[in-house]
Structure 1
Amino acid sequence: MNSLYGKKALVTGGASGIGGAISSELAAQGATVIVHYYRSEDAVKELQKEVLESGVGEIIPVQADLTNEDAVNEFAKTILSLTSSLDILVNNTGDLVERHTLDDIDNAFWEKVMAVNVTSTMMVSRVLLPLLKSADDGASIVNLSSLAGRKGGHGGSLAYSTSKGAVLTFTRSLAAELAGEGIRVNAVTPGLILGTRFHSTHTTDESANKTISEIPLKRAGNPRDVARAVAFLASEYNGFITGATLDINGGVYMA
């Protein structure tokens, strides 16, 4: 892998959970990491403190609502005030929001889930594209999808699974579009990753235990499992991997 010393990275939803682990890992490899957060101010301050104490890397927090176009444009202005180029963009922001089946889902909820998981990824990538094009050695975009985007997810995750499948298609299409600019675009699809707010909110112990029993490696994943994979794809900023999806699920889905 290439060294991340001197590299500039941005992680959306990067204060806690999988995003926090990604931010921490990139910083540990020497990057300056701009960490977007929405409500997790306490978490991002704690992350900033931990990285400062480690003596390696740097965390710069920036708050924004990435589902609002005007807010995303203001977010971009803030990023432009911090750096003239960007080597790594990790589109991590996303959520299941709530569980709804087809017979009780409404358009407003559907559109909210799409905004959180797909539209935000598109808007952030769009506004930061000039900075990515300015990277010296090519740049890397890593999009966070989900095993649900591969397999369809558990009951009540219709909107979420559809949105995460869309992230995979977005990744392949954008990879083809930006290859000539030296910008690689890849995705990761985490399976059951415990120790996150997402699964604490949306996954019961019974469901988690059943899923673990069906995982060939016989354990759930943790945020560091995802962070290491993202760091690999990010650090190969001038590499030969683009348009790819890296599955992180202990063998539940093999492609």
Structure 2
Amino acid sequence: MENKIALITGATRGIGLAVAETLGREGYKVILNGLLEDEGQKVVTDLKNNGIDAELYICDVTDEKAVDKMVNEIGTKYGHIDTVINNAGGLGGREKFEGMTTEFYRRVMALNLDSTLFVTRAAIPYLKNSKNLPSIINYTSIAAYNGGGPGAGVYSAAKGAVLTMTRSMAKELIAYGIRVNAISPGTIDTAFHSATNKDIMESWKSGIAIGRFGESKEVADIISFLVSEKASYLVGEVIQINGGQAYL
């Protein structure tokens, strides 16, 4: 069987890096996308030192042409892509709707929604070439269901759109044997929340049934399941990973 190729966007830190580590240990060649060359190369070196076959591509996933170039280079080099993890995303800061700049709105939508479309669209021809149960994992968020925290309204809207897009993609792409699913993380302990006051973050724990924040590895393990044969009958599904945060 040919080597399994996983493309993971925004993979040089946080959840994306945990996914790369997990899939890498399971035999995937992991292709990490990031923005910073020095940071990315250090991460790839660390992965290789731990026996993981890893490669780095520097690319801004909000740049349509750059994404096409990156994905086509990967697809041409390996002939196929087996798994696409659309991990790149973020708050982009916090702004209330009143006084929100159009530039901020477009930046947040581009980072979370446009990137998902650009990477997926470019990868489809190479996913069709996969013989390893090809799949796509998108990232929505608990914010897509509850409207998000203060100043995160546009982020929640973008993640709501990703949720709907996931189901549309799933219906369209299953005809080619490509499964599309999504995860919906709650509050995961990563640098993602660096723009949030620490005292405010601590107060959020009272709203999480399990009483703590999630860990990146816990998200990565669910993704590992979703791309595996164990999840071969899951199509268009959204898995909540929030420690019961949605139920209090």
- The TM-score range, normalised by the shorter chain, is over 0.9
Deviation at 1:214, TM superposition (A): 1.6
Aligned pairs for 1:81-120 within 5 A: 81-120=76-115
Instruction: Report the identity percentage.
Output: 37
Paired position in structure 2 for 1:9: 6
Instruction: Determine helix, strand or coil for the equivalent of 1:35.
Output: strand
Deviation at 1:238, TM superposition (A): 7.3
Q: In the alignment, is the contact (CA less than 8 A) between 2:225 and 2:231 conserved in 1?
A: no
CA gap of 1:132–1:237, structure 2 versus 1, over 3 A, is farther
- The answer to whether the aligner puts 1:233 opposite 2:226 as a matched pair is yes
Let me know the Cα RMSD of the aligned residues. 1.7
* Distance of 1:147 and 1:139 partners within structure 2: 26
Paired position in structure 2 for 1:251: 244
2:183 to 180, 188, 202: 188
Q: In the alignment, is the contact (CA less than 8 A) between 1:47 and 1:59 conserved in 2?
A: no
Instruction: Determine helix, strand or coil for the equivalent of 1:86.
Output: coil
- The answer to whether the aligner puts 1:42 opposite 2:38 as a matched pair is yes
Instruction: Determine helix, strand or coil for the equivalent of 1:250.
Output: coil
TM-score by length of 2: 0.94
Paired position in structure 2 for 1:124: 119
Paired position in structure 2 for 1:149: 144
* Distance of 2:41 and 2:114 partners within structure 1: 27
Deviation at 1:209, TM superposition (A): 1.1
Unaligned runs of 5+ in 1: none
Q: In the alignment, is the contact (CA less than 8 A) between 1:87 and 1:237 conserved in 2?
A: no
Deviation at 1:183, TM superposition (A): 0.5
Paired position in structure 1 for 2:75: 80
Deviation at 1:233, TM superposition (A): 0.6
Instruction: Determine helix, strand or coil for the equivalent of 1:186.
Output: strand
1:198 to 192, 211, 214: 192
* Distance of 2:112 and 2:75 partners within structure 1: 24
Paired position in structure 2 for 1:51: 47
Q: In the alignment, is the contact (CA less than 8 A) between 1:95 and 1:160 conserved in 2?
A: yes
* Distance of 1:62 and 1:97 partners within structure 2: 22
Deviation at 1:65, TM superposition (A): 1.2
The aligned amino acid for 2:18 is A
- Which runs of structure 1 show a deviation greater than 6 angstroms over 4 or more consecutive aligned residues? none
Instruction: Determine helix, strand or coil for the equivalent of 2:98.
Output: helix
Instruction: Determine helix, strand or coil for the equivalent of 1:146.
Output: coil
2:208 to 198, 211, 215: 215
* Distance of 1:235 and 1:138 partners within structure 2: 8
Instruction: Determine helix, strand or coil for the equivalent of 2:181.
Output: strand
- The answer to whether the aligner puts 1:242 opposite 2:222 as a matched pair is no
Paired position in structure 2 for 1:22: 19
- The answer to whether the aligner puts 1:177 opposite 2:198 as a matched pair is no
Q: Deviations over 1:27-64 (max 9, x none)?
A: 0111101111112x333223322322222x31110011
